[in-house]
Amino acid sequence: MTDSDTHRAIDAVWRIESPRLIAGLVRIVGDVGLAEDLAQDALVAALERWPEAGVPDNPGAWLMVTAKHRAFDLLRRYRMLERKHEEIGRELEAERERTRGGFDRDFDASLDDDIGDDLLRLVFIACHPILSTVARVALTLRLLGGLTTEEIARAFLVPVPTVAQRIVRAKRTLAEARVPFEVPRGPEVAARLSSVLEVIYLVFNEGYSATAGDDWVRPALCEDALRLGRILAELAPEEPEVHGLVALMEIQASRLRARVGPSGEPVLLLDQDRARWDRLLIRRGLAALGRAEELGGALGPYALQAAIAACHARARTAAETDWTRIAALYDALAQLAPSPVVELNRAVALAMAFGPAAGLELTDALTTEPSLEEYHLLPSVRGDLLAKLGRFDEARAELERAASLTRNARERTLLLERAAACATGSTPWQRS
């Protein structure tokens, strides 16, 4: 194996193993920032040793043992966490006993039996509501997604120093607040889990429909969110909304290839070539939705959105879409999690199920909603519906307003093209 092959292997191992590594270290040292530093030290050691000695049979365990030894040495040297000295000494002695004989022996025993619990604790810490939303997103991608600061900055089109500051401040906030390394219990669980799901879906959505920049989609972010969602589903298998979110992301991700044309232009749902949809992801999404339903009780917001996505996934053609069921599901979602954006989506469903006038009536009612004043999809939807009713001058004005509000270059081009089409009174398009 060449040095470049080894470095690629190390990068792959780090992306997979770093969340487990950091989670195990946080339990030992009680500090997220210090745990990440120790994990990085282990990575440096791997970069120094593996090109010569080769990649070990169990690279994750190698990194874990190396990082733990450094953690124990650090704790002893600086006499940190004195109340844990006796416990740490016992664990250190046991660790050294297990690993006596060097790194050539089997490391499976060195991995903690409760690593799943550690990972779940790390998920809840990274998404703690004491942090701002942007800080939670950055910290989650760094600690659980294994992304570098540069990769996060590039994905969200923000300067590297901005992301670095968010991560540093987030770690400092967690340390100063002495946030415990534990899974929340009792009445706190629902709110904390909601925060975790929100962060994962925010990451996915930024990949599925980029808010700014030159690209319509950023598949790598969708993949990162899906990976986090699948991990969470394994760690919390009895939570229906976790499976609901995974189902929603799997089904939406199945359409990624079809959402972009040959030149990178957006292709909306009803215009997509469904032969390009990923059937494996659809099957996985429907299975996850089934698990959410089997766990019983009323469907939550993510499971309801997954059920809506499933209606599209099951339709072989756009014409076969069950818009009446989709409208009913949006009715249920509006009752459970009311918001102006849900109402806007419900307006689209009503228009498709019962005609554009029905959707326009609800859309018009949203024009006075303050939170949608700068939301480009409101005039975009309204423009579509006006065009379908033959009111092309009004439609053109709405679509031009939508184009002026979006920060995504691809979407702006699409909206201006549709506005121009209204000037000729051409056949209205379909929207996703």
Using one digit for the tens of pLDDT, what is the confidence trace for 353-403? 999 999 999 999 999 999 999 999 999 999 999 999 999 999 999 999 999
Average pLDDT rounded to a whole number, residues 103-131: 67
Q: Which residue has the higher pLDDT, 287 or 69?
A: 287
Q: What is the largest CA-CA distance in the chain?
A: 81
In this prediction, residue 20 has a pLDDT band, given cuts at 50, 70 and 90, of confident
**Residue 11 is assigned to a structural domain of this protein:** yes
**Residue 54 is assigned to a structural domain of this protein:** yes
Name which of 297, 217, 230 is nearest 257 in CA terms: 217
Q: Round the average pLDDT of the chain to a whole number and report it.
A: 87
3-state secondary structure of 300: coil
* pLDDT in the model for residue 199: 92
**Residue 35 is assigned to a structural domain of this protein:** yes
Cα separation, 46 vs 53, whole angstroms: 10
**Residue 402 is assigned to a structural domain of this protein:** yes
The contacts found for 337-341 with CB under 8 angstroms, 24 or more apart, are 337/301, 340/366, 340/369, 340/371, 340/372, 340/375, 341/372, 341/375, 341/377
Q: Which of 78, 104, 130 is the last residue of a domain?
A: 104
* pLDDT in the model for residue 372: 93
* pLDDT in the model for residue 117: 79
In this prediction, residue 301 has a pLDDT band, given cuts at 50, 70 and 90, of very high
Q: Which residue has the higher pLDDT, 213 or 272?
A: 272
Q: Which of 104, 130, 149 is the last residue of a domain?
A: 104
Question: What is the phi-psi region of residue 390: left when phi exceeds 0, alpha when psi lies from -120 to 50, beta otherwise?
Answer: left
Cβ atoms of 320 and 298 closer than 8 Å:
no
Cα separation, 91 vs 215, whole angstroms: 50
Most confident of 4-8, 27-31, 210-214, 367-371: 367-371
Average pLDDT rounded to a whole number, residues 253-272: 93
* pLDDT in the model for residue 27: 86
* pLDDT in the model for residue 85: 52
| Structural domain count, the chain | 2
**Residue 57 is assigned to a structural domain of this protein:** yes
Q: Give pLDDT tens digits for 417-430.
A: 999 999 887 655 54
What does pTM read for this prediction? 0.79
Q: Give pLDDT tens digits for 149-208.
A: 988 888 787 899 999 999 999 999 999 999 988 888 877 888 889 999 999 998 999 889
The contacts found for 321-325 with CB under 8 angstroms, 24 or more apart, are 321/270, 321/352, 323/349, 323/352, 323/353, 324/353
**Residue 68 is assigned to a structural domain of this protein:** yes
* pLDDT in the model for residue 57: 85
Q: Which helix (H) or strand (E) holds 407?
A: strand 407-408
Cα separation, 394 vs 384, whole angstroms: 10
Range of the structural domain that residue 380 is part of: 347-432
Average pLDDT rounded to a whole number, residues 103-126: 62
Across 92-96, 193-197, 410-414, least confident range = 92-96
**Residue 365 is assigned to a structural domain of this protein:** yes
**Residue 384 is assigned to a structural domain of this protein:** yes
* pLDDT in the model for residue 105: 42
In this prediction, residue 71 has a pLDDT band, given cuts at 50, 70 and 90, of confident
Contacts of 58 (CB under 8 A, 6+ apart): 106, 107, 108
Cα separation, 267 vs 371, whole angstroms: 27
Name which of 122, 24, 13, 18 is nearest 69 in CA terms: 24
Q: Parallel, antiparallel, or unpaired for β 407-408 and 212-213?
A: parallel
Cα separation, 38 vs 312, whole angstroms: 46
Q: Which of 79, 104, 129 is the last residue of a domain?
A: 104
Contacts of 239 (CB under 8 A, 6+ apart): 193, 295
